[in-house]
Amino acid sequence: MNPDEEKSIEQKREHVNTQDRVLWNPALSIPTREIDLTEGEVARIKAAIETWDGYGVNADRGWLEPLLTALSPHVPGTGENPSS
């Protein structure tokens, strides 16, 4: 996100017990936009989500599940190919 988008959702960064966290106001949003990710980028994002340490996962479920659903068809090795 660019600085204006971060400001529009009141994004904040904090450091807690050796971990960095990003927080924002969930009542606010920014316009959606298409982004192109390589297969490698999608695989890295999925790996990071799958190894989530459990901190805040329930609180993040509302945005995490749709993200996983959106990424799943594009991850190599899932057997799914949206273009076929």
For the chain, how many structural domains are there in total? 2
pTM of the model: 0.51
* Same-domain check for residues 15 and 47: no
Query: What distance lies between CA 52 and its chain's CA centroid?
Result: 12
User: pLDDT by residue (tens digit) across 18-68?
Assistant: 888 889 998 999 988 888 888 888 888 888 777 776 666 677 777 777 777
Residue 50 falls inside a structural domain: yes
Range of the domain at 66: 36-78
In angstroms, the CA 8 to CA 62 distance is: 20
Residue 84 falls inside a structural domain: no
**What are the b/e assignments for 35-62, b being 16+ CB within 10 Å?**
eeeeeeebbebbeeeeeeeeeeeeeeee
Residue 54's pLDDT is: 62
Residue 4 falls inside a structural domain: yes
